Structure 1
Amino acid sequence: MHQVADYLDHQNFGPIIADRIWNAWWKDAGLHLSDITHHLTEMVDDRSLPTALVAHDESGYLGSAFLIDCDLEERQQYKPWVAAVWVEESKRKRGVGKSLVEAAAKTAADLGYRVSYICCHQELEAFYTAFGWSVLERDVGPHKLSVLSFEA
């Protein structure tokens, strides 16, 4: 059984979170691993956003997700965004990703946001819509991403 907790209480997972996010999304974009490590320090400062959540069990890190101001330059009017959802490959299809995304949306609602947003490639839409997210737009920006929303 896994738990989802605030990154503030599990900063020991910082190096692995930075590694996974950098390799998945930012390595080929020219960012350095240290840029992601620095971004994680913002997750534990006094601001409510950005923030991070960590899924873990007795074996350790399972995955993580961020809640940030904006994840899609083309849609800056939307706020906040669930972003950088990552689940360790060997732990996928066990409800960890769903737990992370739901916890991030609940965190947004607790912060006073009625709606949360997420972007993904079209082939991942079904993952999110299966537990209540709605497709708002498709083919946004150069990566032709889908934008989904969740109303708390």
Structure 2
Amino acid sequence: MVPRGPVTVENITISNLRAVPHLAVDVADRVWRAWWKPAGFPLEHISERVRENLTGKPLPFALVAHYGSTFVGTASAIVSDLEERPHFTPWVAAVWIDPPFRRPGIGGAIVRDAAHAALATGADTVYLCALPAKRRFYEVLGWSRHEENVGHHGLDVFTFRQG
């Protein structure tokens, strides 16, 4: 349900999924629909991966943007997101903002928070991969393009460092 009033970055909350575990169903659903359902994976496979974010380990973790109890979006930090670059770690991954909430600031806020939280685990660099069409979005947020045309999807690999 979309709230009646305007939803802006100022009136959303970004929480660790561990603090709002009831939103794990929404996280799994959106991530599954965006990337895994088209590839033929069952929802339960992704639900299991999302439950891994609820442990006390530093990685993986998921952040959830919400407006009260309404799911807005998510971003995760995981050990590895690109089989072609297994030595890069950690990664910000599974960035998703529900379409009614795609407006300036919300996606950037959750990506920024996920990157800083990943750096707080002791990493000096955080990685992210995306289709070239998303290049400008990540560069405006301060990510640096590290590589282009990686893997069979032709992804860009970005880095983010403290500073």
TM range (shorter): over 0.9
1:2-26 residue CA offsets vs partner (Å, 9 max, x unmatched): 1211000111111111111111000
* Correspondence 1:128-147 to 2 at 5 A: 128-147=138-157
* CA shift for structure 1 position 94: 3.1
Listed as ranges, the matches of 1:1-152 within 5 Å are 1-58=11-68, 60-152=70-162
Deviations 1:116-148 (A, max 9, x none): 110000010100100210000000000000000
Residue identity matched to 1:31: F
Paired amino acid for 1:36: I
What's the TM-score once normalised by structure 2's chain length? 0.90
* Amino acid paired to 2:116: K
Figure out how many residues of one structure are paired with residues of the other and give that number: 152
RMSD: 1.0
Distance in 2 (CA, whole Å) between partners of 1:131 and 1:144 is 21
Deviations 1:61-106 (A, max 9, x none): 1000110001110011110000000001010023111111101111
- SS of the residue corresponding to residue 43 of structure 1 reads helix
Unaligned runs of 5+ in 2: 1-10
Cα distance in 1, alignment partners of residues 122 and 73 from structure 2 = 25
Q: Which amino acid aligns with 2:82?
A: L
- Helix, strand or coil at the partner of 1:73: coil
- Structure 1 length as normaliser, TM-score? 0.96
Q: Which amino acid aligns with 1:10?
A: V
Per-residue Cα deviation, 1:14-58 (whole angstroms, up to 9, x for no partner):
111111111100012121100111111110113211110000123
Q: Percent identity?
A: 38
- For 1:54 and 1:109, how far apart are their aligned partners in 2? 18
Structure 1 runs (4+) greater than 2 angstroms displaced: none
